[in-house]
Copies of this chain bind each other. A is one copy, B any other.
Amino acid sequence: MDHTYRLVISCPDRVGIVARVSQFVAEHGGWLTEANYHADAESNWFFMRNEIRAESLKVSAQACREAFAPLAAEYGMHWALVDSAVKRKVVILASHASHCLADILHRWHSGELDCDIPCVISNHENLRSMVEWHGIPFEFVAIDPENKAPAHAEIMALAQRYEADCVVLARYMQIIQPEFCQAYAGRMINIHHSFLPSFIGANPYQKAFDRGVKLIGATCHYVTERLDEGPIIEQDVIRVSHRHSKDDLVRLGKDVEKSVLARALRNHLEDRVLVHGNKTVVFD
């Protein structure tokens, strides 16, 4: 992958933002390899992502950030200048099911996913060997169904000890406590095994089977305190029919879950996902 800086911005919309920002980039010699803009008419909000070849910039990333700060302040921007060479640390939480975890690990191992995975945390032991084969620490934390709080606290502490930039719930199946949600707002990604907002909560495949839907789906979203109601990053579906049992739905759904999660995670890691209210702008 090429070394780039990503200048990601959102702010109230007005005339001249693109001109000012691209003027700034050009003044510093920045060669744009990709640029995306979106103006949300309803909220009058503006979104922008500029990808700049690192070697074209005449100054360091840090100097660039300092130079940009006054402009950002003038326009009331939420913004970041991200260096693509600094790999994000993605801590994965898994449960018993292996498909999403195996998929992420293989993409990472084959060089497709540009991040570090400092550890995998699970409340089951069955995936330890697979994780450790990849050279990644596996942290087992038993969850006492009668008293989940200590385990939840330990898991959050582990994520922080491993300096997670991003937390992925790879079919983790546990409700996340509010403090953990807040600490990783916009950085904690869940894959839900239904086409949300259909079949919120537990057992979505059973519900889909009972309703007799002709497509099943999966939804990747940022985790908020409201279960399965966070900003949606990506969704997809697959066709099913009367021939499929509930177990078939579970099996077919796995393929959708893992591809939806992979696409969402990739876009998150490339700073292509901007959250605005309870919705996302995805510059893919």
One digit per residue, 1 when the CB lies within 8 angstroms of any chain B CB and 0 when it does not, for chain A 132-173 equals 010000000000000000000000000000000000000000
Q: Are B29 and A15 in contact (CB under 8 A)?
A: yes
Cβ of A33 under 8 Å from chain B: yes
Cβ of A3 under 8 Å from chain B: no
Counted per complex, copies of this chain come to 4
Cβ of A64 under 8 Å from chain B: no
In the complex, which residues of chain B have a beta carbon less than 8 angstroms from the beta carbon of A36? 36-37
Chain A interface, number of residues (Cβ within 8 angstroms): 68
Which residues of A227-260 are within 8 A (CB) of B? Answer: 231-237, 241-243, 245, 251, 254-255, 259
- Contact A23/B19 with A212-B278, A234-B214, A236-B215 known, Cβ cut-off 8 Å: yes
In the complex, which residues of chain B have a beta carbon less than 8 angstroms from the beta carbon of A242? 38, 40, 47, 279-282
Cβ of A128 under 8 Å from chain B: no
- Most B-side CB within 10 Å, residue of A29, A243, A281: A243
Q: Are A26 and B19 in contact (CB under 8 A)?
A: yes
In the complex, which residues of chain B have a beta carbon less than 8 angstroms from the beta carbon of A106? 98-99, 102-103, 106
Q: Are A282 and B241 in contact (CB under 8 A)?
A: yes
Residue in contact with A56 in the complex, picked from B15, B56, B215, B243, CB distance below 8 Å: B15
Residue in contact with A110 in the complex, picked from B19, B56, B99, B199, CB distance below 8 Å: B99
Q: How far is the CB of A57 from chain B (nearest CB, A)?
A: 11
Q: Are A213 and B235 in contact (CB under 8 A)?
A: yes
Cβ of A211 under 8 Å from chain B: yes
Q: Are B235 and A214 in contact (CB under 8 A)?
A: yes
- Contact A215/B217 with A37-B32, A40-B242, A280-B242 known, Cβ cut-off 8 Å: yes
